[in-house]
Structure 1
């Protein structure tokens, strides 16, 4: 299961992993059901967004997924926001429309590649690129595009994950199915909490990271099996490792009452131009 190459393979992401919202929905479910922080990540994020842009703003989200950010904050969206939602996958966008239901009419939805955004310069007051920049094959180009479509005074929000995210889950996988992950590297190897700031500073002058404090306590084995399948290749999805994986998860639940899984989540907030960038042209 070669996660590094598949992580940034746009065609594979569009046609397989994210051809629709099914795999994403499984991964979201475990966080919704078993997170330790009573304030959900999308409420936490929306608080930051609202504080930064106020009641009048043009907002772009790239990699919108199922639109959960907006559905979970539906009654908080200011009337003065003009919002465009994009995703690389047409299937994901269709599932976003279904998930948003009547709220979908509040947005412009269209497919887009973060490395080639079909928007004019200086068009948006805020751009959201949450949990997706680690999928961009050329992140410097992607970050440059995000800066280009932002107003000079605009702000970029880019949530991502860190080195220890889901560490105990992958330890569980190694214990039950070591042959399934010989090449595993996490998203932090591409765009993570530890290296994201330097990548954003190629286009932004001011970058800060705001951490989100939350972990998982999973009290049932099946959600862990489902999560395992959602990340796996055909060999994993076949069920070859299911019994060993389930037994190891159940053993931990029997011993401790739950499987503890550490999360490492945060959001980069980026503004301004790189000092001297204009004069260097």
Structure 2
């Protein structure tokens, strides 16, 4: 079943509020701040499972398009805490998994999550733009899920993927549209406006660096065939508490608290959360739930 949550009203709102400029963060910031533990990933993963309305999960969507037979050797770039690999592993009963991540804390979590499974697993601490430790024509499948915007050198990363991927293999890169989770950004920007916040906080998701909009052109420089498959979901919250955890911990207040900034005090973020929560509460009272629409998908590259 194909689910379409897009409406003309949401498309018009996206054009009105989503800025052209997006946040950018270094790999070091991702390693040392975002993923120095698993909290951010844990909250996002819990929310996307607990509050989704699409009966097909995003992981199910990924697995469908990887076209696994069970014997493939798979490389997961930015494997995080192994949440996706845990569901994918039974589809590789006679294959192998190699997980690479720049952050030791989440890599250890992945190692523990898949410890003792029959599928052989190898774990590598490193950056996705340096695959020099891996041999040519080593993998049948390569994945990069929601992490490519942190990679310092994209051209070097994609060149490395081509080298380590066997002929006929598939590179699956999953990312968002820049207007994904539009309702959350709408509430966030409205609160910032009411507070007279610094204008440099009004930026789109860092996934704008390589989104579903611009990714095909970037990948087309390195792969002969780039096919885009899309997936939608709508998270629906009938209580403000889980949404606020998603907003504050899972997304660092839409990236506003991602890096230290002496202008942004604890009281600033307390007021920001109060204003966002008030909007979410009003939406729940009016409609019965607060919706966050997810526009995402994958590039399948060969």
Number of matched residues?
Answer: 265
Aligned-partner Cα distance in 1 for 2:87–2:102: 22
1:83-134 C-alpha deviation (Å, 9 max, x unpaired)? 1111110011112233335439741112121111121122111111111112
CA RMSD of aligned residues (A): 2.2
User: Which residue matches 2:188?
Assistant: 173
2:10 maps to 1:10 = no
Q: How does 1:154-193 map to 2 (within 5 A)?
A: 154-178=169-193, 179=197, 182-193=201-212
User: Which residue matches 2:17?
Assistant: none
Aligned-partner Cα distance in 1 for 2:271–2:152: 31
Say if 1:220 and 1:253, in contact at 8 Å, map to a contact too: yes
User: Which residue matches 2:300?
Assistant: 269
Aligned-partner Cα distance in 2 for 1:151–1:227: 38
Say if 1:161 and 1:265, in contact at 8 Å, map to a contact too: yes
Q: How does 1:153-232 map to 2 (within 5 A)?
A: 153-178=168-193, 179=197, 182-230=201-249, 231-232=251-252
**Structure 1 residues 55 and 228: CA distance shift in structure 2, 3 A:** closer
Gaps of 5+ in 2: 1-20
User: Which residue matches 1:93?
Assistant: 107
Return the TM-score normalized by structure 1.
Answer: 0.87
Q: Secondary structure at the match of 1:120?
A: coil
Aligned-partner Cα distance in 2 for 1:246–1:88: 34
Return the TM-score normalized by structure 2.
Answer: 0.81
Q: Secondary structure at the match of 1:72?
A: helix
1:231-279 C-alpha deviation (Å, 9 max, x unpaired)? 22154875342222211111111111111122111011000xxxxxxxx
2:68 maps to 1:37 = no
User: Which residue matches 2:15?
Assistant: none
Gaps of 5+ in 1: 272-281
2:36 maps to 1:19 = yes
Aligned-partner Cα distance in 2 for 1:208–1:14: 30
2:149 maps to 1:134 = yes
Aligned-partner Cα distance in 2 for 1:3–1:200: 20
Say if 2:94 and 2:119, in contact at 8 Å, map to a contact too: no
Say if 1:42 and 1:68, in contact at 8 Å, map to a contact too: no
Say if 1:71 and 1:103, in contact at 8 Å, map to a contact too: no
Say if 2:22 and 2:203, in contact at 8 Å, map to a contact too: yes
